[in-house]
Amino acid sequence: MQIHDLPYPDPGVPDARSGPRFLWWLFRNQLDGQLKSLAWGLLHFASVASLPFCVGVAVQAAVDRSGGRLALAGGLMALACVGNAVGDTFLHRSAVTNWITAAARVQQLLGRKAAVLGSALTRRVAAGEVVAVSTGDVEKIGWFVEALSRFTAAAVTIVVVTVGLLVYQPALGVVVAVGLPVLALAVLPLLPRATRRADVQREKAGRATELASDTVAGLRVLRGIGGEDLFLDRYRRASQEVRHAAVRSARMWSLIAAVQVLLPGLLLITVVWYGVHLARDGRIDVGELVTVYSSVMLLTYPLRHFEEIAMAYSFSRPSARRAARVLSLERAMDTAGTRAAETPAGDLYDPQTGLCAPSGSLTAVVCGDPDAAGRLAERLGGHAAREGASVLLGGVPLDELPLDSARTAVLVQDKDPVLLSGTLRELLDVPASGSVDPEAALEAAQCQDVLAALVQGSLGAEDPMDARITERGRSLSGGQRQRLALARSLVTDPEVLVLDEPTSAVDSHTEARIAQGVRGLRSGRTTVVFTSSPLLLDRADRVVFLHEGTVVAVGGHRELVRTEPRYRAVVTRETEEETASSAALRADDGGRRTDEVPDGLEELETLEEIEETA
């Protein structure tokens, strides 16, 4: 796999049982690239390690005044330099390729997991943690996967050179053979503490990232309640904790680096001291002493990879653990799709709550618990947070359909839809049936003022469709973002459209026009709207009221206001005392007089006035 071949046609099924298993899975799945890196690394390190032998031959040839051997040494040195240059160049190339392809595989896996889980992902993992994994963590993971082959090449080179020194000059070779393992293993007692400190640093950095992400996402709300300073102080404290943890981690790694500088120096001193004594006694030649000395000095270069692999593992392990945690998440229901791909049609029925949305109708759902409403909306779209009976569309269980088919049939727009940056034309360029024009969807969603605002804020954009939308639509108000998201959902024209509080941020007059526009545009299609707005409820073909997770009443809005006190309490925001008082009054009177205005119907007069104005 080369960089220009990305993305992967299939990133594979990861081993997400633990962080180390995930790292090993990544290594195995790019084995070709790792073998290339290993081969180039061996060429590079072998060329570097052969230079001392060439220098030793040249020195001894000069001492012996042998021109032939001196020329041979020069030729070998030139060959070693070429091998060094070629090996280093292609080692770097293959290493960067392994790094990027490993990071890209992780990002593809995370993207696929997010697509499978949908909105249920952020209910099970903090959004900030997902951001941290998909940005900084993938780099740490790629670093370790890439460094593993270079470390292997360095280790093999060290072993080969040590064996060669034992054969070439046994007296000094024994000193090197004893000293090099000590150098490689001396830092092992320090690694557990360094790893723990690195883990603490990564955890604190992850929490700071989560806090920053949540703060930015809720910045408008924070400004509205004056909470910017409070959250700024919290982030300052979190960032200071990250700084202190990073300093403590850096101290330990600097100690490890110092040990790896000190011990090779001591080994060099020992080799020179002992070699000089051997040379004085005539047991070795000057060239042999130079060769051994140069070999030990150059071996400090591959020895650095022992420190690097330890550092890369300590930093990548918590990153891999977080990535494995996200990748190990599964949908609560069947994801394989035991049925053939199809787009069913018919009534939408949820056995768990008893909710039924007849085909081709506009069904409004009222639920006193907004969180329960959100979970039900997700379940209707096949994003159940926990196991249970599957939602049926035309008698077909959605969870038995392939995921693409289920999502083609049912589209869910949650309470906080995201607008991607780009032009309005790109925003509305979504998979659709083609039956709804973007202009009709924008009109039904009452986006006329939004289009004007976009054109005014985009330089040189005469056509509103070419106007640019900033990241997450931050330049727009909450109501404007909500209407653009509604228009995008209407363009898709799915068999079933589920809207969770689609007009919570717009004014009453605009809401009345939206209710009329959605009803007209979705005529003949199944639409489910979770709302407590009388303006939308009065436009629905039927209203379903859920209490404590179960359907308790079905009917028209005005009928339910008159006959169902719990429904009236949710829609009109009555307090429990007011509801109890109304019930007691009706009981005392033996029923309401026909000339008395029922409690909670005052909003209907306002509704009629708004409709006439709209």
Question: What's 439-468 look like in SS3?
Answer: HHHHHHCCCHHHHHHHHHHCCCCCCHHHCE
pLDDT at 597: 42
What are the backbone dihedrals phi and psi of residue 593, each rounded to the nearest 5 degrees, phi first? -70, 150
Confidence of residue 309 (pLDDT cuts 50, 70, 90): confident
Task: Give residue 102's identity as a one-letter amino acid code.
Answer: A
Type and span of the H or E element at 372: helix 370-380
pLDDT at 417: 80
Q: Which of 77-86, 353-362, 453-462 has the lowest mean pLDDT?
A: 453-462
Type and span of the H or E element at 397: strand 396-397
Grouping H, G, I as helix, E, B as strand and the rest as coil, residue 339 is: coil
Q: Roughly what angle, to the nearest 10 degrees, separates helices 478-492 and 508-521?
A: 10
What are the backbone dihedrals phi and psi of residue 496, each rounded to the nearest 5 degrees, phi first? -130, 130
Q: How far does the chain reach from its first CA to its final CA, in angstroms? A: 60
Above 50 in pLDDT, residue 591? no
pLDDT at 596: 43
Q: What is the mean pLDDT of the chain?
A: 82
Q: Which of 180-194, 223-237, 504-518, 532-546 has the lowest mean pLDDT?
A: 223-237
Above 60 in pLDDT, residue 575? no
- Contact yes or no for 176/289 (Cβ under 8 A): no
pLDDT at 521: 92
**What tokens were used for 205?**
């950095």
